[in-house]
A and B are shown apart, each in its own frame.
Chain A
């Protein structure tokens, strides 16, 4: 039996790997702002051991002022050393982790449900999950962090089961590492650990020593991160993304010139209701099934974080969780409920990356529903009616997979190319080819047809595609006499074309 399970999981991993690696350098169409920034900093670390600002092996990368987490950057270093500085080497670590996470998720599902069929079904859904595939095809700190959280949780549950010290240390290591990977995890991981502890409260006394070791390792590894979050540069990032800075909130609540509003109508109270709305909005069908991944233009249907054919499975899964005795069902529900909190505390519209850690549990609910669906078919319907329903459902699945294929390969590159700074690479290549003809080459950081006010970082694309020596870049003066930013022959400033 174990041999067959191994073969199935291996086959799913290979299928998942194909979907994640196929034409990875070409789709998404171009490297995004974050990807080039991650990439050049990793290149800089490889060549000099310092980031673009000359800081030695930093734990927070200032980058474009958004203070990037270190794990994705350090993970790229070996990849860049092996394959050079290019699209593949930048995206490869995320795709590799995404592929390897398929068997890890399977083990996690098994640990939670102890039900082989549900775990296998959830793993199948993971291998073809549009949400997981989307985030595995470009540099995604969300995906890496979630994989580490799952690994940490798996080790945590194993620690309670076997009581081995190894699992305590591993669990603490992976949990804290996930917090060094993405900001949302800094809020989610403590809540997830608390949730797991509530679940294992009956075993707390028996595993007290292992738990103490777990806490000690966590505190030791997380000490720099805790300091940086509360007193260091990471505070700036938290303030940047805080819900209170949401455009809609500021427009509707922090209205000027109002002063001396009574406590009952204070901004903070309304912020609570605004956050609650954000929270519940993540359960919107538009996000879940229609356009949650934002791969097509606004107001048109694209691909949601789950497939459309999962709708009946998800509904049936919820009903089954309510009506039947499913192992650890409160953990599944609790995980989803706390998983939506970090994203609800941040600004801007729905963000599928900030809620990515709820994916394993959503898949489990969906898989539970799928198995219940097949059971209901088998027990309640006669042979011919059952076959008709299976046939209709198969057509719906094929249609949905076809729709997703078209969205990924046809519409996403055409409709969302601008988000990935499509054309910047070609611009830089043209500039480089003609560099000798000009005294100064000026690039305007503002770009875009759909959104002419998108601010890009063309200098980073120049550094990336020229493989500009990081040692020189760190040392040279980058401020022009007129105050604009520049290096070599390149200047970055607004170009007044006189077009109004």
Chain B
């Protein structure tokens, strides 16, 4: 429900539709890039989605640091190093990096639908994902730069969120992740006769099936008790 209600599902549908049309008409890569950027920026501005710098804690931290430094001989250095613009840039970089952390997608660090043990993507899929990623990096060439920029544009809404990494915004990058996972899976199936790939395929399937079952049992049994505990303890 949480994800279905997200306006980013609409954006995702729009982007995928554009992608299909571009494929059919073989539109130039640079034009695709411009089109994607345009759609995402329009969306961000219309729906006032840039909330990254609204956290008052950020500015409070800078003030604390500056206050402490001003009491020392390093006060002039603090003015250059610890000003709010530098700190906000640091925060922006931090948000960018967090979008590329495996824990964001494959563990319950970012919980789906607020259930305690429900990751956005099941952990077992990390095996084909890593294989797919290595394959992708190996095949990257200079003319693939627009593709990399498109991926960056897709994670931009989540980067600009106060609550980053924001799963409801990261939904628009999910096709890329699923593509990488599929690419890894394809490698496993293609090399099925080699023992190591057979093991990887079996392990992936085993882990995914197991986690699906565990997650459902956990939601059915523990989640009501957790909710009650939260209510009781405030």
Contacts and interface: CB of A to CB of B under 8 A. Distances in A.
Interface of A: 252-253, 255-258, 261-262, 264-265, 269-270, 273, 276-277, 280-281, 283-286, 289-290, 297, 299-301, 308, 311, 319, 322-323, 399, 402-403, 405-406, 409-411, 414-415
Contacts of B98: 284-286
A323 B137 contact: yes
Contacts of A283: 101-103
Given A265-B217, A270-B218, A285-B97, A277 B108 contact: yes
A415 B82 CA distance: 16
Interface of B: 57, 61, 64-65, 68-69, 72, 74, 77-78, 80-82, 86-87, 90-91, 93-94, 97-98, 101-103, 106-109, 116-117, 119, 123, 134, 137-138, 210-211, 213-214, 217-218, 220-222, 225-226, 229
Contacts of A285: 94, 97-98, 101
B225 to A, nearest CB: 5
Q: Pick the 4 closest A-B CB pairs, nearest first.
A: A265-B217, A285-B97, A277-B107, A280-B103
A322 B134 contact: yes
A258 B221 contact: yes
Given A264-B217, A265-B218, A285-B101, A406 B107 contact: no
A265 B64 CA distance: 46
A252 B217 CA distance: 14
A319 B86 CA distance: 28
Contacts of B211: 273
A264 B97 contact: no
Report which residue of B69, B107, B123, B134 has the largest number of chain A beta carbons within 10 angstroms of its beta carbon. B107
B221 A414 contact: no
B81 A403 contact: yes
B123 to A, nearest CB: 6
B81 A265 contact: no
Contacts of A265: 214, 217-218, 220-222
Contacts of B101: 280, 283-285
Interface centre among B93, B211, B217, by most chain A C-beta atoms within 10 angstroms, is B217
Given A301-B87, A402-B77, A403-B82, A411 B65 contact: yes
Nearest to B77: A402
A415 B69 CA distance: 12
B75 to A, nearest CB: 10
Given A262-B217, A286-B94, A289-B97, A273 B222 contact: no
A300 to B, nearest CB: 4
A285 B65 CA distance: 21
A255 B229 contact: yes
Given A276-B106, A300-B61, 16 more contacts: A255-B225, A255-B226, A264-B214, A273-B107, A281-B107, A283-B102, A285-B98, A286-B94, A286-B98, A289-B97, A308-B93, A311-B93, A319-B137, A399-B80, A399-B86, A415-B68
A322 B217 contact: no
A301 B61 contact: yes
A409 B226 CA distance: 44
Name the residue in A269, A300, A410 with the highest tally of chain B Cβ atoms < 10 Å from its Cβ.
A410
A72 B157 CA distance: 50
